[in-house]
Structures are given as structure tokens and as C-alpha cells.
Amino acid sequence: MSSPLDPLQKLAEFLRFPSISTQPEHAPDLIACAEWLRELLSSIGLEASVHSTLGSPVVLACTPRDPAKRTVLIYGHYDVQPPDPLEGWTTPPFEPRIEEGRIYARGSADNKGQILAHILGVAQTLRETGELPVNLIFLIEGEEEIGSPHLEEFLREHRDELTCDLAAISDTAMAPGNRPALTYALRGIAAMELIVYGPARDLHSGLFGGAVANPATVVGRLIASLHDAEGRILIPGFYDAVRPLEGWEREAAVALEEAAGGDEAIKELAGVTELVGEKGFTTIERIGARPTAEVNGIGGGYQGAGTKTVLPKEAFAKLTFRLVADQDPAVILNAAEEYLRSQTPPGVLLEIISGHAGAAYQSDPTSPDGFAARKALAGAFGAEPLLLRDGGSIPILATLKEILGVDSYLLGLANPDSRIHSPDENMLVENFLGGIRMNRILLEELAKDS
């Protein structure tokens, strides 16, 4: 029997890889991180392999297939978001540190701590009992944070090996107050970049201002044209396909609102004094059940110290739309493009580059597997889980349903104040250790369903 692994030491090792998928210079770090995972998975007794793709490698690991057992696929990702802005971090993002029950590092909660909890849970069960109650497949990718551009093809190619009964995923968060939650809906996403071109070169803003369209002004106007004064999106047809909430969902949202401590708690988490958004919906509804348009980045013109009187030749904005069931990302991107073109004044050229896209995902928390997942959360964390619709996206969920025909159950382990994608990302050590316990109960409960 192999000796037990020290969970926090393993997590710290994992967190030291700067596996930033969006920055090409980190490709070697992604490869090294995938290799580290393969070694770990094989050391605990699984058949593990690394598969190269046109992007970051995919790590697979599985138990032998026993036809008498159900098959569970556990998905996660080893890539992380860029740590920027670096000056926001108390200590360097890839030098993990534990303080007051939290481990701080980029990727601690999203998603290394969460996927590692499952791996260590499996390691423990295998060490203690020699087998798992289900057939298990780990599918761990390195491109989730950039929209999983190569995973769909991988799933199609490896469809037979990946045949399973359901997917279990910890890449979401607990409910406010760090209460366990089964997330049954995530929003979809559709990304686009708009670039506005004006004069052939940057111009003197005194000599030409007043005579030439300013691309930065146009970008500002285009962004402003997305919403009305009440926070509704003005793109024609944008809301046409939105699936309304069912009665039980409204009840779940109220229970969540109470547990969440209302808007005050959300203000605190966001570090704002006022919450804003579409009129007619509660904050919980606006985050979990309504589509939005966000500006993720904007630029153009002089960015250095002091002033420079320039009329920039071009300006850009990066946008993402968060979508809900049954909005089609391709339809939304087309409608947005048509609308933005109609809003573009003469004298400039608008280029639109569509980015990654993924549909929203919903599963049924009252299905037998939904109940199994809820039992696992309750057993590991000692409280009845809330039912959550969350605002983030995991675009591959819709693809898992399409290609493998399976539902995904989302057992989030991140603490709500884990600051994912922000400086000082952290994961509560108790959530990480609880996740290890949860994995064992989960596999036992899922083994019973059929």
C-alpha cells in the first residue's frame, strides 16, 4: 500500500505552475503541469495519459472498466487566468501561501484546489479499499479559461473511451456564507472584440479635431448604445429566446437570497457601495438567470504618463455576453454585430472579431444523480445544500451533453469570497479537505443509481 499524500503539499506543488492558457509564452508551463498531473494520477493507481492537441494538452486517467459498474467522468481544468494586475497581490501569485485557513495563489480555487480534491479523494479510497464503487474517468483540460477551443474535437475523437453515465464537476462555488450548494444552471458566453479604425495614422488633435471622426469616441458610443437607462440590452431580439424561471426556481432563489444575506453581502464581496443592473429583477436573478453584456477591456490612444494631444487612428473594446438557456450564442453574436454596425457613424471602419462561445447549461437537481450529488455535499459539509444558478460559464458542459449525451452535476468547492480571476485568489483549506471527503461519498452514492 502506498503512503498517504500530504494534500496541502500536493496542492502547493500544483499551484507553482504558472499555467496561464491565454499567454503563448506559458505553453511550456502548461505542458509541465499536465505531465505533473499524469505522474500523480498514475502514482495513485490510475491508467493516466497526456494527449497533445493544437493547444494545451488534455490529461486523461481512468480505472479499468467493469461492465457491472456505472461510469463517472470527473472534469476539471489545470489552466488558470493571468494573475494581472500583479500589484493587487499580497504575495506573488505562483508562490502559494497559507494564512488563516486559506491557501492563496492563482488557480487555488479555479480550478486546481477543486480538481485536486477529487484526485486525492480517489487516491484515499483506492489506498484504503483497493477499488472504487464506479468506473472512473478523469478528464482534465488546459484551455478552459480560453473557452476550450480544442476540447470538442478531442471529445469527438475519444468518444468511445469517454463513454460514461454522467459528469461530476467541481469548478463552481459554494453559496454565500460558504454554504454547500448544487449549482444546476450556469450562464453561457459569447465573446467579441470590436476595433474601430479612423485616420491612417495618429493625428494632432488640435489640427484635425473637429474634422475627423475619433475612433475612441466611437468605441465609447458603441458601448453606450448596448444598454438603455434601465439596464436592458438594446440589441434587437436579444431576449427573444430567454427561458423564463419556473416556480420552484423562484422559490430556490428566495431561499438563496435569505441565505445570502441579501444585497449587503454581495456588495461586500464585490467591494462596491451600490449594486446596479436590469430593472425588475433581484440581484440573485440578475446574476444567475438574466443575460448581460459586459465590457472586459477597452483601449486606444495615449496611455502613458501626462497628456498627449493625439487623435488616435484606432480604438478597441473586448466584450462578452453572458447568456441563459435557450439563447444561441451564434444568433446573439450575429444580432450584436448587426446592431453595432447600425450604430456606427460615418468616417470610421468597424471590424468585429467573434471570439469563443458556449451555450448556457442546466441540469435537473431532482434527478437521482442530482440527489446523489446533494447527499455527497450534505455528508461532507454537514448542511443541506442550496440549489444555485450561477453566473459564470463552463462552455464545455453543453458539449459534453451533445457529444457524450450526459448531464453534468456541479458540486462547487470554491468559497464565495475566493476572488477567482482577481488578485489574492484563495481557497479555504476546509473546503479543499471537505472536497476530498465529498469525493468518496459522491462515488458511493452515484454507484447506487441506475
Q: 30 near 57, Cβ under 8 Å?
A: yes
Asked if 29 touches Zn ion (CB under 5 A), the answer is no
Read off the amino acid at residue 20: I
Catalytic-residue membership of 144: yes
For residue 163, the tally of other CB atoms under 10 A from its CB is: 15
DSSP letter at 22? T
DSSP letter at 145? G
**Minimal CA–CA distance to 345: which of 219, 237, 178?**
219
Query: Quick one: which segment of 109-117, 260-268, 285-293, 342-350 binds Zn ion (CB under 5 A)?
Result: 109-117
Site residues (vs ligand BES, CB under 6 A) = 110-111, 144-145, 147, 171-173, 186, 189, 356, 390, 392-395, 420
Instruction: Single out the residue of 29, 79, 110, 424 in contact with Zn ion (rule: CB under 5 A).
Output: 110
CA distances from 430 to 8, 110, 330 (A): 11, 16, 41
> Rounded to the nearest 10 degrees, what angle do helices 247-260 and 262-270 cross at?
70
Among Zn ion, ligand BES, none, the one that 314 touches (CB under a kind-dependent 5 to 8 A) is: none
Question: SS3 for 286-313, per residue?
Answer: HHHCCCEEEEEEEEECCCCCCCCCEECC
Q: Which is nearer to ligand BES, 67 or 297 (CB)?
A: 297
Q: Which is nearer to ligand BES, 313 or 356 (CB)?
A: 356
Q: Cα separation of 377 and 413, whole Å?
A: 9
Q: Which is nearer to ligand BES, 173 or 323 (CB)?
A: 173
Cβ 393 to ligand BES shortest distance, Å: 4
Cβ 103 to Zn ion shortest distance, Å: 17
Read off the amino acid at residue 8: L
Catalytic-residue membership of 131: no
3 state DSSP class of 421 = coil
Cβ 123 to ligand BES shortest distance, Å: 23
C-alpha cell at 118: 477529487
Among Zn ion, ligand BES, none, the one that 394 touches (CB under a kind-dependent 5 to 8 A) is: ligand BES
Choosing from 144, 165, 369, 424, which is the catalytic residue?
A: 144
Q: Which is nearer to Zn ion, 249 or 425 (CB)?
A: 425
Q: Which is nearer to ligand BES, 112 or 375 (CB)?
A: 112
Q: Which is nearer to ligand BES, 147 or 215 (CB)?
A: 147
Cβ 179 to ligand BES shortest distance, Å: 14
With vertex at residue 418, the alpha carbon angle to CA 295 and CA 107, rounded to the nearest 5 degrees, is: 80
3 state DSSP class of 377 = helix
Q: State the distance between the two ends of the chain, measured CA to CA, in whole angstroms.
A: 32
Q: 78 near 119, Cβ under 8 Å?
A: no
Among ligand BES, Zn ion, none, the one that 369 touches (CB under a kind-dependent 5 to 8 A) is: none
Among Zn ion, ligand BES, none, the one that 63 touches (CB under a kind-dependent 5 to 8 A) is: none
Which residue number places its CB atom closest to ligand BES?
Answer: 392
Cβ 79 to Zn ion shortest distance, Å: 9
Q: Which is nearer to ligand BES, 175 or 348 (CB)?
A: 175
H/E element holding 251?
helix 247-260
Among Zn ion, ligand BES, none, the one that 172 touches (CB under a kind-dependent 5 to 8 A) is: ligand BES
Among ligand BES, Zn ion, none, the one that 393 touches (CB under a kind-dependent 5 to 8 A) is: ligand BES
Among ligand BES, Zn ion, none, the one that 285 touches (CB under a kind-dependent 5 to 8 A) is: none
Choosing from 29, 79, 110, 424, which is the catalytic residue?
A: 79
Q: Cα separation of 281 and 40, whole Å?
A: 46
Cβ 398 to ligand BES shortest distance, Å: 12
For residue 257, the tally of other CB atoms under 10 A from its CB is: 18
List, by residue number, the catalytic residues: 79, 144
